[in-house]
Amino acid sequence: MTDEPHPFVHRALITGASLGIGEAFARRLAADGWDLVLVARDPGRLDATAAELTRRYDRRVETIPADLSTDDGCAAVERRLAAEPPVELLVNNAGTSLNTAFVRSAVEDEARLLRLNVLAVLRLTHAALGPMIERGGGAVINVSSVAGFGVPMPGSTYSASKAWVTNFTESIGQSVAPLGVRVMALCPGYTRTGYHERAGIDMSRTPAWMWLRADDVVDEGLRDLRKGKLVSVPSWKYKLVVAGLRHAPRRLLRAASRDTRGRVGRSGE
C-alpha cells in the first residue's frame, strides 16, 4: 500500500489480530503508517503483539482483549467503533472451525462457531458503518474463505458460515458504495497461519501448491480494496478454483468434498 496515497485516515481495528492473517494485517498496516486497535482473546499474546508493533514501527497501538463469541466481547468492540479517534478501516478476521463432524459435536460448540463467524461479523460491521457513512468514508474487510463458494464440506458448518460472510459482505458493499464506504469480502484458500496445527487438524494430504502466505493474502486483499472490489480471492490459482466451483455441477462438488474424508480446515486468523 505504499505505492500510492491511501484514501483513508490511518487507524484500523483488526480482530483476531495476534495470529495468522490478522497479525499479517497488523504488521502491514503499521509498516504503512497506520495506528491500530487490536482485538484478540488472549491478553498476553495480544499485549506482546502490540508491544512488538510499537517497537518496530513506532505506531500507536490500542488493545481490546475480547471473546467475540460473547455479547460482552462484541459490545466492547462496538463501543470502540463508535468512539474517538475514529476507526477508518475494520478488519473482521476472527473466526474458528471445529475439528469434529456436526453429528458428533456439541451444539454449544456449533453455536459458538456461528456467534463468532457470523453474528460478530454482522454486529461489528453494523457498528462500524454508521460512523463511516456519517463521515463519508471508511472501509470494512470481512475475512471469509474460498470454502464459502459452494463447497459442501462433509458434516461441517464452517463452509456454511463463510458462505454467509461472503454473501452478506457483497450485499452490504453494494448498498454503501454510493455513500463513500467500501465493504469487501477477502476469501483466501489454505493459508499458512499455524491454525490447523493448533487445532489438531491433519493437513498432511494438502498439496504444497495450495498453500498461501498470510502476507501475500493481505497484500492482494488491500490492492483489491483500493480497486473497489466487493470480493477478493487472492492468488490466480484460487481464482481458477472459485471459477470452477461457481460452474461445476453440484454432484461433482459433493463427490470432491467426500474425497477429503471429512477433513475440516479454515483459511483465516
Q: Which residues are catalytic?
A: 158
Residue 154 · residue 262 · CB < 8 Å: yes
The C-alpha cell at 192 is 499458512
Residue 83's CB is within 10 A of a number of other CB atoms, namely 11
Question: Which whole-number Å values give the CA distances from 69 to 4, 27, 121, in the listed order?
Answer: 37, 25, 10
- Facing residues of 182 across strands? 139
DSSP string, 47-104: HHHHHHHHHHH---EEEEE--TTSHHHHHHHHHHHHSSSPPSEEEE------SS-GGG
Amino acid at 36: L
